[in-house]
Chains A and B, each alone.
Chain A
């Protein structure tokens, strides 16, 4: 069966510090991978998606970036965090049929 991991689960970082969130998927190959951000109790905003190694599409201009160094690894990064980067970050995967499977999320607080 497939599983998706995210870490860390929670993170408190000062403004201006760097960020690295990691997501890995097990039990499947060549998945589509996604990073979303969610405001409290609201819908999901798509940040990045990837259909393969090294292939990243950005949906929202911002100070965040994403990379996919391996088939089942997806990384979200920032060089300098802003207060507005606070939120709940979710990684998801699918096999191209739009039924997405989500990780447990990372709660990021920028102080």
Chain B
């Protein structure tokens, strides 16, 4: 079983602060996705990273895939209340299976 551990599990910060969420595994993934989920809704895809060392930016969000394709990070600059939600990483290792991380619950306080 492929496992993806996310840290921290919970994060409560003030509006305007920066934060980083980590997603780690002992397995190599072909690609890795990041999703954001709001309460009572399904996760929404934010980004996919495929190449080791790849960095992608989505406005104030920066996503990085580790060189060995076993880990990833999500950095948010100047967090806003609208960033509040559950952040999930997900890695694919073939065979029609995607493993989801344990989740990071982010609260941004105005």
Contact = CB atoms under 8 A, between A and B. Distances in A.
A104 B41 contact: yes
Contacts of A96: 96
Interface in A80-100: 90, 92, 96, 98-100
A76 B6 CA distance: 29
A42 B42 contact: no
Contact of B96 (A51, A104, A107): A51
Q: Interface majority SS on A: helix, strand, loop or mixed?
A: strand
Interface string A97-111: 011111111010000
Interface in B64-104: 86, 88, 90, 92, 96-98, 100-103
Contact of B45 (A42, A45, A99, A105): A99
A5 B43 CA distance: 14
B104 to A, nearest CB: 10
B41 A99 contact: no
A57 B96 contact: yes
A102 B48 contact: no
Nearest to B98: A98
A41 B6 CA distance: 13
B103 A42 contact: yes
B97 A46 contact: yes
Nearest to B39: A41
A99 B30 CA distance: 12
Interface in A43-61: 43-46, 49, 51, 57, 59
Given A43-B88, A44-B88, A46-B97, A102 B103 contact: no
B31 A105 contact: no
Contact of A107 (B40, B88, B98, B100): B40
Nearest to A39: B103
A92 B42 CA distance: 9
Interface in A2-47: 32, 36, 41-46
Interface of B: 4, 6, 30-31, 33, 40-45, 48, 86, 88, 90, 92, 96-98, 100-103, 105
